[in-house]
């Protein structure tokens, strides 16, 4: 059913994206660090560390399969869950859980995911890292309206940008994913214009794992020894609800209060939705698919009993590396993924190993604990050669483009001096073209994400070349870097943006358009 602009504005009103029933009560914050964000203090009593078992998100089964296509159903809805022991948190969850269910699928096999929206606000879903047609990419104004319409009193929308939706679906939408890409750790999350930060903060995030024959042929840890770890920070009210500094607690208008426009940092570290959990492990190799799903927080992960190089990195955003890389620590910006193997056979049963965050102090400096409980046989290994992919040649680039990520006016962030305007095209690459994009960063950190295609990070005087395929590159204050990308597959409008979600919501996005 078609919608008028007035209908859309009415439906854009939220339900108090920041809750406590009485609205936002600031529990105190530390001065902002422009390189990371501003920390929001919970009013809830902090839970004890390393007492909650690590939950594993359930794998979603297809509702049906026909020919070369699997069909899935996901319902976005409000639910009550226990995150802080003894308290109840109202979430926005895919199928009512946080994280959402994991989609475990195969390269080359088409899938269709029907998202039903039973939330009180519009949504759009982005498969982060997915090589998808433009109409299934989760463009910020390709909206799925709530089933049955708005269930709260209407509000206007104060955004200064044009919020006219480019496409509207009523109640549900089918997202079509051809999956014409190599195996990789992807994830899906809400991507609605101006409101991505509070929506993801409230729970709209989940894993999407893509597998292929190359990966299956390797003797890597599998089954119970392969575990996804979604790391995210949140703050909580004394009643247990998520605590987020929305400028408008009703959720009708975008933005955050005061200094939080540099990025919202929570003071409770969650892994798979549990605070500082513990995982009992056997003395064997484990494969961990690491995802930083925080709005703004970076992590430098290290094991307190890890030795010189306990992490064997086997993959990045875009799938397996060509060869494994041993690392003493793993630094992750928001939206980045690292695929690593940890060998617990070096530890005796009874040993406890803490996963630390070297970029945090106190409890923020701890993430989770591993407890070695038993010995077990292990026929897994990490081969010296993992996969093959083309290394793009800079001399074959048909053009170079420059993008500058900067602070704008008060409470805005810009690309090339402009806040986001839907439909304003910053680049027009052609299918098959190889381009180099120069990324110039101002005095704040910006994890830069490119939709549609994976890129490669070129080495220069400021940065080493990255060994993997990436869709998000972590850039620190004042840093410049170059990426090289070949545009493939689909025509249409896609995005380049900062994945600090507060920066994204306040204008640090740009459209580009691919043509044949």
Q: Which domains does the chain have, with CATH numbers?
A: 5-23+54-216 (2.60.40.420), 223-374 (2.60.40.420), 394-514 (2.60.40.420)
Q: What is the full per-residue pLDDT of the chain (516 aa) written as tens digits?
A: 334 333 433 344 444 344 332 233 333 444 445 557 899 999 999 999 999 999 999 999 999 999 999 999 999 999 999 999 999 999 999 999 999 999 999 999 999 999 999 999 999 999 999 999 999 999 999 999 999 765 443 333 334 456 688 899 999 999 999 999 999 999 999 999 999 999 999 999 999 999 999 999 999 999 999 999 999 999 999 999 999 999 998 888 999 998 999 999 999 999 999 999 999 999 999 999 999 999 999 999 999 997 888 999 999 999 999 999 999 999 999 999 999 999 999 999 999 999 999 999 999 999 999 999 999 999 999 999 999 999 999 999 999 999 999 999 888 999 999 999 999 999 999 999 999 999 999 889 999 999 999 999 998 777 788 999 999 999 988 889 999 999 999 999 999 999 999 999 999 999 999 999
Q: What was the pLDDT predicted at 35?
A: 56
- The pair of structure tokens assigned to 271 is 């892994």
First to last CA, the chain: 32
β 142-145/167-170 pair status:
parallel
Q: Which of 254, 295, 257 is nearest to 12 (CA)?
A: 254
Closest CA to 388 of 507, 215, 269, 150: 215
Q: Give pLDDT, residue 407.
A: 94
How are beta strands 285-292 and 337-343 bridged, if at all?
Answer: antiparallel
pTM of the model: 0.93
Residue 324 neighbours by CB under 8 Å, 6+ apart: 312, 313, 314, 341, 382, 383, 384, 386
For residue 34, the model assigns a pLDDT of 53
Is the CB of residue 72 less than 8 Å from the CB of residue 60?
yes
DSSP state of 516: -
Could you give the angle at the alpha carbon of 188 between the alpha carbons of 415 and 209, nearest 5°?
A: 125
**Tokens linked to 340:** 């690593």
**Residue 417 CB contacts under 8 Å (≥ 6 apart), including other chains:** 404, 406, 408
pLDDT value of residue 442: 85
Let me know: does 205 contact 100? Beta carbons within 8 Å: yes
200 Rama sector, left if φ>0, alpha if ψ -120 to 50, beta otherwise: alpha
Distance of alpha carbon 320 from alpha carbon 385, whole angstroms: 10
Q: What phi and psi, each to the nearest 5 degrees, are found at residue 259? A: -70, -10
222, two tokens: 């599998």
Residues found in the chain:
516
pLDDT for 246: 96
Q: Strand runs (DSSP E) across 171-298, as ranges?
A: 172-177, 184-190, 205-211, 226-234, 264-265, 268-271, 274-275, 278-282, 285-292
CA distance linking residue 154 with residue 5, whole number of Å: 14
């Amino acid at each position: 059913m078609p919608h008028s602009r007035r209908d859309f504005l009415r439906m854009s009103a939220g339900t108090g994206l920041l809750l406590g029933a009485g609205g936002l009560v600031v529990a105190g914050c530390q001065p902002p660090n422009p390189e990371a964000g501003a920390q929001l203090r919970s009013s809830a009593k902090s839970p004890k560390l390393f007492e909650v078992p690590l939950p594993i998100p359930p794998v979603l089964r297809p509702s049906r399969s026909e020919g070369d296509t699997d069909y899935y159903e996901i319902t976005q809805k409000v639910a009550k869950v226990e995150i802080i022991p003894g308290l109840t948190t109202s979430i926005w969850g895919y199928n009512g859980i946080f994280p959402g269910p994991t989609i475990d699928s195969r390269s080359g096999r088409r899938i269709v995911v029907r998202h039903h929206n039973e939330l009180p606000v519009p949504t759009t879903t982005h498969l982060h890292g997915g090589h998808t047609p433009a109409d299934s990419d989760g463009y910020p104004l390709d909206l799925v309206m709530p089933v049955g319409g708005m269930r709260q009193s209407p509000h206007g929308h104060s955004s200064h940008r044009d919020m006219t939706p480019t496409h509207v679906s009523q109640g549900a939408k089918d997202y079509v994913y051809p999956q014409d890409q190599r195996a990789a750790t992807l994830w899906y999350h809400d991507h609605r214009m101006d409101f991505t930060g509070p929506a993801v903060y409230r729970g709209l995030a989940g894993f999407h794992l893509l597998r292929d024959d190359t990966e299956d042929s390797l003797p890597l840890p599998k089954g119970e020894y392969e575990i996804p770890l979604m790391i995210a920070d949140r703050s909580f009210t004394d009643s247990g609800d998520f605590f987020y500094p929305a400028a408008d607690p009703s959720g009708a208008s975008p933005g955050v209060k005061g200094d939080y426009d540099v990025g919202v940092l929570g003071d409770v570290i969650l892994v798979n939705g549990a605070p500082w959990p513990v995982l009992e492990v056997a003395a064997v190799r484990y494969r961990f698919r690491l995802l930083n799903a925080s709005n703004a927080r970076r992590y430098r992960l290290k094991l307190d009993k890890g030795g010189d190089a306990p992490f064997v990195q086997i993959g990045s955003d875009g799938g397996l590396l060509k060869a494994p890389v041993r690392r003493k620590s793993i630094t992750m910006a928001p939206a980045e993924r690292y695929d690593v193997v940890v060998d617990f056979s070096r530890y005796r049963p009874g040993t406890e190993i803490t996963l630390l965050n070297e970029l945090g102090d106190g409890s923020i400096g701890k993430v989770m604990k591993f407890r070695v409980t038993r010995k077990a046989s292990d026929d897994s290994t990490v081969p010296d050669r993992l996969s093959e992919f083309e290394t793009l040649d800079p001399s074959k680039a048909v053009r170079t483009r420059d993008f500058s990520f900067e602070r704008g006016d008060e409470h805005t962030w810009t690309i090339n001096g402009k806040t986001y305007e839907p439909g304003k095209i910053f680049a027009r690459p052609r299918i098959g073209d190889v381009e180099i994009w120069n990324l110039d960063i101002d005095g704040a950190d910006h994890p830069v994400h490119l939709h549609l295609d994976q890129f490669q990070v070129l080495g220069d005087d400021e940065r080493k070349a990255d060994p993997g395929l990436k869709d998000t590159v972590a850039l620190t204050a004042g840093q410049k870097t170059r990426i090289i990308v070949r545009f493939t597959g689909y025509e249409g409008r896609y995005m380049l943006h900062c994945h600090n979600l507060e920066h994204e919501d306040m204008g640090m996005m740009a459209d580009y358009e691919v043509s044949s």
